[in-house]
């Protein structure tokens, strides 16, 4: 028999701006070959997968017929169960995840335990919610990371109404931000944090996540339960 699969928590926005359909399919498909996946969203609300096309609409129709496509609420997540956290590119993240206090608690568990976290493109905005346990600084202060550049965001219609500009937030809160050209595949790994600049970086980011988990002895002994 093969070893039991590690559990991966996939964090999704339920804002109307949604989760990128393409990034989601790539992240989910790749991750589900190595992990058993649990979806979670604010209050377990429904997720909008945006920018669907004729090809992936069929994929979503099938996906939605499975019970596992229903997210659970952040409040009910038992973080100790999961070896990895994955946030796909999500235009909605900046609206309902970037200041979510329940999500902050979940991510703090992953930081404390140094468990792999992978955030991609506009999904990197979700990391903005994380306050250090003393509430005085940002949880990812001193981390090197990437995320959507101001140039990439400036092309979108909602640019002027974005509550948070990821690049500015990271720089203003003590993180090390770096990016590549617009739409380039670009992934930065710092300790247990993997970030991808944009939706095009999804595959490379998730590949790194699976590799990191395979190497991570802490994650494999998933019974290191701190409750």
Ligand X SMILES: *[C@@H]1O[C@H](CO)[C@@H](O)[C@H](O)[C@H]1NC(C)=O
DSSP 143-186: -EE----HHHHHTSGGGGG-S--HHHHHHHTT-EE---STT---
Provide, rounded to whole angstroms, the least separation between the CB of residue 212 and ligand X: 9
Provide, rounded to whole angstroms, the least separation between the CB of residue 52 and ligand X: 26
Single out the residue of 60, 49, 40, 46 nearest to residue 20, CA to CA: 49
17 to 76, contacts with ligand X by CB under 6 A? 33-34
Provide, rounded to whole angstroms, the least separation between the CB of residue 111 and ligand X: 20
Provide, rounded to whole angstroms, the least separation between the CB of residue 41 and ligand X: 25
Provide, rounded to whole angstroms, the least separation between the CB of residue 57 and ligand X: 26
- Nearer to ligand X among residue 77 and residue 188 (C-beta): 188
Q: Tell me the site size for ligand X, rule CB under 6 A.
A: 12
Among 72, 80, 182, 189, binds ligand X (CB under 6 A): 189
Question: Does the protein bind ligand X through residue 108 (CB under 6 A)?
Answer: no
Going by C-beta distance under 8 Å and a sequence separation of 6 or more, which residues neighbour residue 92? 13, 14, 15, 16, 17, 18, 19, 48
110 to 169, contacts with ligand X by CB under 6 A? none
Q: How far apart are CA 163 and CA 105, in angstroms?
A: 21
Among 32, 156, 178, 216, binds ligand X (CB under 6 A): 178
Single out the residue of 150, 50, 135 nearest to residue 101, CA to CA: 135
Q: How far apart are CA 58 and CA 36, in angstroms?
A: 22
Q: Mask of contacts with ligand X, 191-220, x by CB under 6 A?
A: -------------x--xx-xx--x------
Q: How far apart are CA 28 and CA 76, in angstroms?
A: 21
Contact set with ligand X (CB under 6 A):
33-34, 178, 187-189, 204, 207-208, 210-211, 214
């Amino acid at each position: 028999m093969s070893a039991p699969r590690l559990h991966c928590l996939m964090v999704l926005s339920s804002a109307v701006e949604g989760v990128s359909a393409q990034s989601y399919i790539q992240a989910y498909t790749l991750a589900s070959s190595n992990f058993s996946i649990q979806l979670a969203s604010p209050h377990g609300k429904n997720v909008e997968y945006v920018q669907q096309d004729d090809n992936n609409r069929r994929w979503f129709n099938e996906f939605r017929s499975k019970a596992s496509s229903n997210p659970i609420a952040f409040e009910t997540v038992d973080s100790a169960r999961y070896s990895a956290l994955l946030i796909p590119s999500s235009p909605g993240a900046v609206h309902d995840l970037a200041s979510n206090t329940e999500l902050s608690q979940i991510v703090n568990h992953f930081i404390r335990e140094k468990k792999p976290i992978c955030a991609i493109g506009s999904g990197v905005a979700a990391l903005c919610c994380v306050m250090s346990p003393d509430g005085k600084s940002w949880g990812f202060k001193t981390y090197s990371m990437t995320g959507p550049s101001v140039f990439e965001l400036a092309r979108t219609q909602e640019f002027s109404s974005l509550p948070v500009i990821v690049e500015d937030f990271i720089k203003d809160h003590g993180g090390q931000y770096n990016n590549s050209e617009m739409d380039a595949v670009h992934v930065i790994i710092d300790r247990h944090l993997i970030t991808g600049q944009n939706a095009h970086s999804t595959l490379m980011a998730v590949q790194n996540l699976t590799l990191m988990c395979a190497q991570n002895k802490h994650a494999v002994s998933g019974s290191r339960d701190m409750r």
